[in-house]
Structure 1
């Protein structure tokens, strides 16, 4: 057995270094890291707390303002607590009308305090949102109703539609919007789910808060009869092209109704209808600027907009519903809105007349059925403006039928790129040929108008026509003997 040297139990023991303390440099390093991480964590938590406090204060301000802005269709005001509860935990995540496929909002613009005819509506417009459940896509259409349209009212008398708000307000606060909504629904055949009312001052301040808007002026014009704030007149003018406008200039552009076009190409700007079209372009410009990054990251702008809403806007849209609508509008492509003005032009649905010495507009037929049909199908008609080209062929023995149909459909804003004769003249019924899925809604509308058969087999258009069919044609209509009777009912709009 091997001998080992004796060890002093105290002094000769080998040094033992615990693993957790080896090496000492690691000890310093391990202490620094938690301190650094803890500092970052404190900053992060601090930012969260600041954001939460700022967000809560801002949200409370928004909700406090919305207590005045939101009035409901029955004039009932919701408490801040109720609106906050609905904003966080809404009972229904859908807007009114969404389940049926369409939501309609009445937009009301009026002079307000300090303006002549303060309670007369200067702008009456329906903003309609259509939902496609299959694709989850949304479309928006704006339908402008002229203020001189002569309509029946609840007092069993007829009035200009722009006076109904004032008549309704005599019955009680916020009754004006209810009265006007009922009339607009009667005219268009559309249920009105919500309303938004803004006065001139509010509109001007919204545009100024946004830092101005860029609006396309289609033609240069001058208006020497634009009203001043002291009930006189002034001259305003606008140059063709993209113009940056402040609140006052955009209000003048939206309200001018005595414009004289100064372009060589001509045109017309001196009517309520031209004004309605300009108002729709201004709304598009406001939407574009409101959803820009420049606006989204500017708390001062947002704060100013909230203040303007509280002072000048009233609506039946609740805050949680506003959030859904903002999301829809934000995701809409610029320029995708379908715009329609109900007018008395050659292809319009109205005609000018007088009642009691006053200028009024009346429907070309004895009721509002044509306006209702247009309002119901505005998205289908609107799609015809998206390069869906239609060529019409006469497949009957009746001369001039294709020309007649082309003229009629043009007045209804369909894009007709030509007409001619079918290869044969033995079509009893009208047949619609398509070259793909483009224009499906238009095909459906045309099929209904002509009670036509549909051929989606991809027929070569050149083999059914005596004439050259343009390459950009998407739809070919071959008119049969039955088309003549259908055209007679469609031609009412050409009176």
Structure 2
């Protein structure tokens, strides 16, 4: 994710003069660095004088949420997210992962019910969620996937295009000819897009179209793979041409070019330090995963919308690959009762919970088999774990209820009702 950290991020939230002062102070005094997160190393400035550059010294995994919003020039918002990625960096193992999430994935948006995941940002801004759309997107990710993102970068179309041009474009190989007569223009019309197959050099405008179009057989899944291909191409260009020192030196000009289209909570030193860390990670330690057809199933909502739902164990395998097997370990005792006439449902749900690390202490039929709604009943100290379990199973927050005694030798009782769906792959 070098292009976000080294091109778009440097100096965010600062004007040109303020940036120069802050950059000087950050490199010489490091007064604003979080304790234990950023150190400094010494290199040589262009004039031969010592130059101290921030270095990431934290040992905890760093998760960064990347949002690409569908903002067109002059639009006040709120906006949906065309792109939703999580970048995870392990400073100790020196590894980096990128997870791309389909915009049509059907999830629970805390406080707003079930919807496509790309609406979380829109709803958060539109309805005054604390922290706005970015915060609601982060909470939606945490609730449904158990992924906490301490940092975020939000980018619009214009900033992306300018960033690529500031790098001098990128080189990549287009695997198939793209013909998109209905590629959207900036005014809700169409701007036909054609790109032949083959290896070529792309400017910012063409790269944006390549990363946005869905006019190939794989639709949105192909688009997510192309976006990851662009990330690799940017990284390769920055490293091959040894551009990182130049990008840091040109930070004020870069910031002036993209500042209107980027929002982040990364500090100056964190941006530089993470960019340097990412540059040091070898290619064979980078994993990029798309939540694709093998991890999802088509689903038609009650109002007729065509969306995607998760196959839990398949998604869990992908998350364990990127974030490690200990990504989400819930040390609670859980009972699963089948309150339906569907044989084996409780056992299938118990199996789906196994990767979360819970201790399933009881699997049986409920005292009745005609429960209409699924309920997750939790002792008050286990409420947060119950919400994580509900999110993993694709249940709404309203399914979770605090009770003094869930009537089992456990902290959480999952009582399955007729509304609990069967999803290919089992759950």
* TM-score (normalised: structure 2): 0.61
Measured in 2, the distance between the counterparts of 1:204 and 1:283 equals 13
Q: Which residue of 2 aligns with 1:141?
A: 97
**Structure 2: 5+ residue stretches without partners:** 1-9, 39-55, 326-422
What's the CA shift for 1:308?
A: 2.8
Say yes or no: does 1:276 pair with 2:233: no
Equivalent of residue 285 in structure 1, options 233, 239, 250: 233
Measured in 1, the distance between the counterparts of 2:172 and 2:317 equals 31
* Contact 1:107–1:197, Cα closer than 8 Å, also in 2: yes
Say yes or no: does 1:119 pair with 2:79: yes
2:104 is paired with a residue whose SS is coil
Equivalent of residue 219 in structure 1, options 169, 173, 176: 176
What's the CA shift for 1:174?
A: 5.0
Q: Which residue of 1 aligns with 2:309?
A: 362
Measured in 2, the distance between the counterparts of 1:68 and 1:146 equals 35
* Contact 1:125–1:144, Cα closer than 8 Å, also in 2: yes
Equivalent of residue 88 in structure 1, options 13, 18, 30: 30
What's the CA shift for 1:306?
A: 1.9
Measured in 2, the distance between the counterparts of 1:298 and 1:85 equals 16
Aligned pair count reads 296
* Contact 2:159–2:262, Cα closer than 8 Å, also in 1: yes
Say yes or no: does 1:185 pair with 2:129: no
Output the aligned Cα RMSD: 3.5
**Residues 89-116 of structure 1: CA deviation (Å, up to 9, x unaligned):** 324232799544x211111001224388
Distance 1:492 1:120, change over 3 A: closer
* Contact 2:88–2:323, Cα closer than 8 Å, also in 1: no
Q: Which residue of 2 aligns with 1:128?
A: 88
What's the CA shift for 1:359?
A: 1.6
**Residues 207-260 of structure 1: CA deviation (Å, up to 9, x unaligned):** 11111111221222322221122322232222333221111100000000123x
Equivalent of residue 324 in structure 1, options 259, 273, 289: 273
Q: Which residue of 2 aligns with 1:234?
A: 191
Measured in 2, the distance between the counterparts of 1:279 and 1:218 equals 13
Q: Which residue of 1 aligns with 2:318?
A: 374
What's the CA shift for 1:276?
A: 0.3
What's the CA shift for 1:83?
A: 11
Matches within 5 A, 1:63-462: 63=11, 65-67=12-14, 84=25, 88-89=30-31, 90-94=33-37, 98-100=58-60, 102-114=61-73, 119-132=79-92, 137-170=93-126, 171=128, 174-259=131-216, 268-269=217-218, 271-291=219-239, 292-293=241-242, 296-297=245-246, 302-334=251-283, 336-343=285-292, 345=293, 348-355=294-301, 356-364=303-311, 368=312, 370-378=314-322
**Residues 151-194 of structure 1: CA deviation (Å, up to 9, x unaligned):** 11222411111011011113168511110011112232222121
Measured in 2, the distance between the counterparts of 1:201 and 1:273 equals 23
2:257 is paired with a residue whose SS is helix
Measured in 2, the distance between the counterparts of 1:232 and 1:283 equals 28
Greater relative contact order (Cα < 8 A, sep 6+): 2
Greater C-alpha Rg: 1
* Contact 2:65–2:153, Cα closer than 8 Å, also in 1: yes
